[in-house]
Amino acid sequence: MGLLTNLKDSISRAASTLFSEEDPKRIGIYGPPNAGKTTLANRIARDWTGDAVGPESHVPHETRRARRKENVEIERDGKKVTIDIVDTPGVTTKVDYTEFLEHDMEKDDAVRRSREATEGVAEAMHWLREDVDGVIYVLDSSTDPFTQVNTMLIGIIESQDLPVLILANKIDLEDSSVQRIRNAYPQHETIPLSALEGDNMDEVYDKIAEYFG
Protein backbone atom coordinates (compact mmCIF):
# COMPACT_ATOMS: atom_id res chain seq x y z
CA MET A 1 0.00 0.00 0.00
CA GLY A 2 2.92 2.28 0.92
CA LEU A 3 4.52 1.58 -2.43
CA LEU A 4 1.32 2.50 -4.25
CA THR A 5 0.98 5.73 -2.29
CA ASN A 6 4.60 6.63 -3.04
CA LEU A 7 4.07 5.90 -6.74
CA LYS A 8 0.91 8.03 -6.78
CA ASP A 9 2.76 10.85 -5.04
CA SER A 10 5.66 10.78 -7.48
CA ILE A 11 3.32 10.73 -10.48
CA SER A 12 1.43 13.71 -9.14
CA ARG A 13 4.70 15.52 -8.39
CA ALA A 14 5.96 14.81 -11.92
CA ALA A 15 2.65 16.01 -13.39
CA SER A 16 2.72 19.21 -11.38
CA THR A 17 6.30 19.85 -12.53
CA LEU A 18 5.32 19.22 -16.13
CA PHE A 19 2.25 21.39 -16.14
CA SER A 20 3.03 23.98 -13.52
CA GLU A 21 2.40 27.52 -14.70
CA GLU A 22 5.00 28.72 -12.22
CA ASP A 23 7.93 27.24 -14.16
CA PRO A 24 9.71 29.95 -16.12
CA LYS A 25 10.02 29.32 -19.85
CA ARG A 26 13.53 29.46 -21.28
CA ILE A 27 13.47 31.98 -24.10
CA GLY A 28 16.51 32.00 -26.37
CA ILE A 29 17.54 35.27 -28.00
CA TYR A 30 18.91 34.24 -31.39
CA GLY A 31 20.06 36.00 -34.53
CA PRO A 32 23.14 36.81 -36.59
CA PRO A 33 26.20 38.54 -35.05
CA ASN A 34 25.77 42.28 -34.31
CA ALA A 35 21.96 42.27 -34.50
CA GLY A 36 21.74 43.69 -30.96
CA LYS A 37 20.87 40.53 -29.03
CA THR A 38 22.84 41.41 -25.91
CA THR A 39 21.59 45.01 -26.01
CA LEU A 40 18.05 43.62 -26.03
CA ALA A 41 18.79 41.04 -23.31
CA ASN A 42 20.31 43.79 -21.16
CA ARG A 43 17.35 46.11 -21.83
CA ILE A 44 14.85 43.42 -20.76
CA ALA A 45 16.92 42.39 -17.73
CA ARG A 46 17.48 46.00 -16.59
CA ASP A 47 13.82 46.93 -17.05
CA TRP A 48 12.54 44.02 -14.94
CA THR A 49 15.38 42.96 -12.61
CA GLY A 50 17.76 45.94 -12.46
CA ASP A 51 20.78 43.84 -13.57
CA ALA A 52 22.46 43.44 -16.96
CA VAL A 53 23.17 40.15 -18.72
CA GLY A 54 26.56 40.87 -20.32
CA PRO A 55 28.80 43.39 -22.10
CA GLU A 56 27.72 44.90 -25.45
CA SER A 57 30.08 45.74 -28.28
CA HIS A 58 30.19 46.67 -31.97
CA VAL A 59 32.90 44.00 -32.47
CA PRO A 60 31.26 40.83 -33.80
CA HIS A 61 31.16 37.82 -31.45
CA GLU A 62 31.38 39.83 -28.23
CA THR A 63 29.04 37.20 -26.75
CA ARG A 64 30.86 33.87 -26.97
CA ARG A 65 28.96 31.90 -24.33
CA ALA A 66 25.22 31.48 -23.91
CA ARG A 67 24.28 33.53 -20.85
CA ARG A 68 21.13 32.98 -18.84
CA LYS A 69 19.25 35.48 -16.72
CA GLU A 70 16.78 33.57 -14.61
CA ASN A 71 13.35 34.44 -13.33
CA VAL A 72 12.70 37.65 -15.22
CA GLU A 73 9.17 38.62 -14.21
CA ILE A 74 7.37 40.72 -16.80
CA GLU A 75 4.06 42.31 -15.77
CA ARG A 76 1.42 42.93 -18.41
CA ASP A 77 -2.21 43.89 -17.70
CA GLY A 78 -1.92 42.83 -14.05
CA LYS A 79 -0.58 39.38 -15.00
CA LYS A 80 2.97 38.19 -14.40
CA VAL A 81 4.95 36.23 -16.98
CA THR A 82 8.17 34.65 -15.72
CA ILE A 83 10.89 33.79 -18.23
CA ASP A 84 14.57 32.85 -18.23
CA ILE A 85 16.37 34.87 -20.89
CA VAL A 86 19.14 33.03 -22.72
CA ASP A 87 21.40 35.44 -24.62
CA THR A 88 23.21 33.41 -27.29
CA PRO A 89 26.27 34.05 -29.48
CA GLY A 90 25.43 35.26 -33.02
CA VAL A 91 25.04 32.29 -35.31
CA THR A 92 27.20 32.02 -38.42
CA THR A 93 28.64 29.31 -40.67
CA LYS A 94 32.12 30.86 -40.81
CA VAL A 95 34.57 32.58 -38.48
CA ASP A 96 37.75 34.18 -39.82
CA TYR A 97 40.12 35.44 -37.14
CA THR A 98 41.64 37.99 -39.55
CA GLU A 99 38.38 39.98 -39.35
CA PHE A 100 39.13 40.66 -35.67
CA LEU A 101 42.52 42.09 -36.62
CA GLU A 102 40.60 44.99 -38.19
CA HIS A 103 39.36 45.86 -34.69
CA ASP A 104 42.86 46.60 -33.39
CA MET A 105 43.43 43.16 -31.95
CA GLU A 106 46.73 41.26 -31.79
CA LYS A 107 46.86 37.97 -33.69
CA ASP A 108 46.90 35.83 -30.51
CA ASP A 109 43.83 37.63 -29.16
CA ALA A 110 42.06 37.38 -32.53
CA VAL A 111 42.75 33.64 -32.79
CA ARG A 112 41.55 33.08 -29.21
CA ARG A 113 38.43 35.15 -29.84
CA SER A 114 37.65 33.19 -33.02
CA ARG A 115 38.11 29.87 -31.22
CA GLU A 116 35.77 30.98 -28.43
CA ALA A 117 33.31 32.26 -31.04
CA THR A 118 33.18 28.89 -32.81
CA GLU A 119 32.60 27.10 -29.50
CA GLY A 120 29.88 29.61 -28.66
CA VAL A 121 28.04 29.10 -31.96
CA ALA A 122 28.16 25.30 -31.51
CA GLU A 123 26.79 25.78 -28.00
CA ALA A 124 24.00 28.05 -29.27
CA MET A 125 22.93 25.41 -31.82
CA HIS A 126 22.86 22.82 -29.08
CA TRP A 127 20.66 25.04 -26.87
CA LEU A 128 18.29 25.52 -29.79
CA ARG A 129 17.83 21.79 -30.33
CA GLU A 130 17.61 20.81 -26.68
CA ASP A 131 17.08 23.55 -24.16
CA VAL A 132 14.82 26.44 -25.16
CA ASP A 133 11.01 26.73 -25.00
CA GLY A 134 10.68 29.70 -27.32
CA VAL A 135 12.76 32.05 -29.44
CA ILE A 136 13.11 35.79 -29.85
CA TYR A 137 14.78 36.22 -33.23
CA VAL A 138 16.59 39.55 -33.48
CA LEU A 139 17.44 41.11 -36.83
CA ASP A 140 19.22 44.37 -37.64
CA SER A 141 16.56 46.17 -39.71
CA SER A 142 19.23 48.23 -41.50
CA THR A 143 20.71 45.12 -43.17
CA ASP A 144 19.44 42.55 -45.69
CA PRO A 145 17.41 39.87 -43.88
CA PHE A 146 17.62 37.41 -46.82
CA THR A 147 20.72 35.65 -45.52
CA GLN A 148 21.31 31.95 -45.36
CA VAL A 149 21.85 31.95 -41.61
CA ASN A 150 18.48 33.64 -41.04
CA THR A 151 16.74 31.31 -43.47
CA MET A 152 18.25 28.20 -41.91
CA LEU A 153 17.73 29.24 -38.31
CA ILE A 154 14.12 30.23 -38.82
CA GLY A 155 13.60 26.90 -40.64
CA ILE A 156 15.19 25.03 -37.71
CA ILE A 157 13.01 26.90 -35.19
CA GLU A 158 9.86 26.22 -37.26
CA SER A 159 10.72 22.52 -37.58
CA GLN A 160 10.81 22.26 -33.79
CA ASP A 161 7.44 23.99 -33.43
CA LEU A 162 8.90 26.57 -31.05
CA PRO A 163 7.00 29.85 -30.68
CA VAL A 164 9.06 32.59 -32.36
CA LEU A 165 8.83 36.35 -32.20
CA ILE A 166 10.79 38.27 -34.83
CA LEU A 167 12.15 41.63 -33.70
CA ALA A 168 13.29 44.23 -36.21
CA ASN A 169 15.95 46.00 -34.17
CA LYS A 170 17.84 49.27 -34.75
CA ILE A 171 14.86 51.25 -36.08
CA ASP A 172 16.74 54.35 -34.90
CA LEU A 173 19.15 53.92 -37.82
CA GLU A 174 18.54 55.82 -41.06
CA ASP A 175 18.76 52.71 -43.30
CA SER A 176 16.25 50.76 -41.21
CA SER A 177 13.46 48.99 -43.13
CA VAL A 178 11.02 46.93 -41.06
CA GLN A 179 9.00 46.13 -44.18
CA ARG A 180 11.99 44.35 -45.73
CA ILE A 181 11.95 41.91 -42.79
CA ARG A 182 8.16 41.50 -43.00
CA ASN A 183 8.53 40.66 -46.69
CA ALA A 184 11.31 38.15 -46.00
CA TYR A 185 9.43 36.24 -43.29
CA PRO A 186 5.71 36.88 -43.89
CA GLN A 187 4.76 33.72 -41.96
CA HIS A 188 5.77 35.45 -38.69
CA GLU A 189 4.79 38.62 -36.90
CA THR A 190 7.56 41.25 -36.91
CA ILE A 191 7.81 43.84 -34.13
CA PRO A 192 9.95 46.98 -34.68
CA LEU A 193 12.15 48.32 -31.88
CA SER A 194 15.37 50.00 -30.90
CA ALA A 195 16.83 48.05 -27.98
CA LEU A 196 19.54 50.71 -27.66
CA GLU A 197 17.13 53.65 -27.42
CA GLY A 198 14.33 51.70 -25.74
CA ASP A 199 11.86 52.55 -28.54
CA ASN A 200 8.64 50.49 -28.71
CA MET A 201 9.58 48.25 -25.78
CA ASP A 202 5.98 48.31 -24.50
CA GLU A 203 4.82 46.44 -27.59
CA VAL A 204 7.78 44.05 -27.28
CA TYR A 205 6.77 43.20 -23.69
CA ASP A 206 3.11 42.80 -24.73
CA LYS A 207 4.17 40.32 -27.39
CA ILE A 208 6.58 38.45 -25.08
CA ALA A 209 3.68 37.97 -22.65
CA GLU A 210 1.36 36.90 -25.48
CA TYR A 211 3.80 34.44 -27.12
CA PHE A 212 5.56 32.99 -24.09
CA GLY A 213 3.18 33.55 -21.18
Partner 1 sequence: MAEVKDPSDGVQIDLISGERMDGLTSMEKIRLILDGVRDGNIVILEEGLSPDEESRLIEVTMTEISPDEFNGIEIETYPKSEAADASLLDRIMGKESTKKLTVIGPANQIETLHKDKNLISALVSRK
Give the footprint of partner 1 on this chain (CB under 8 A).
Answer: 91-97, 111, 114-115, 118-119, 121-122, 125-126, 128-129, 146-148, 151-152, 155-156, 158-160, 184, 187
As measured in angstroms, the least distance from the Cβ of 25 to partner 1 is 21
Q: Please say which residue, 79 or 129, places its beta carbon nearer to partner 1.
A: 129
Phi, psi of 203 (to 5 degrees): -65, -40
**Dihedral (C-alpha) 20, 21, 23, 29: value to the nearest 10 degrees?**
140
Task: Dihedral sign for Cα 166, 169, 171, 174, please.
Answer: negative
As measured in angstroms, the least distance from the Cβ of 180 to partner 1 is 11
As measured in angstroms, the least distance from the Cβ of 138 to partner 1 is 18
As measured in angstroms, the least distance from the Cβ of 177 to partner 1 is 15
As measured in angstroms, the least distance from the Cβ of 8 to partner 1 is 32
Closest CA to 178 of 160, 186, 190, 187: 190
Contact 72, 83 (CB under 8 A): yes
Rounded to an integer, what distance in angstroms lies between the CA atom of residue 192 and that of residue 105? 34
As measured in angstroms, the least distance from the Cβ of 158 to partner 1 is 5
Rounded to an integer, what distance in angstroms lies between the CA atom of residue 71 and that of residue 63? 21
Closest CA to 110 of 97, 96, 92, 94: 97
Paired with 134 in beta bridges are 27
Rounded to an integer, what distance in angstroms lies between the CA atom of residue 191 and that of residue 178? 8
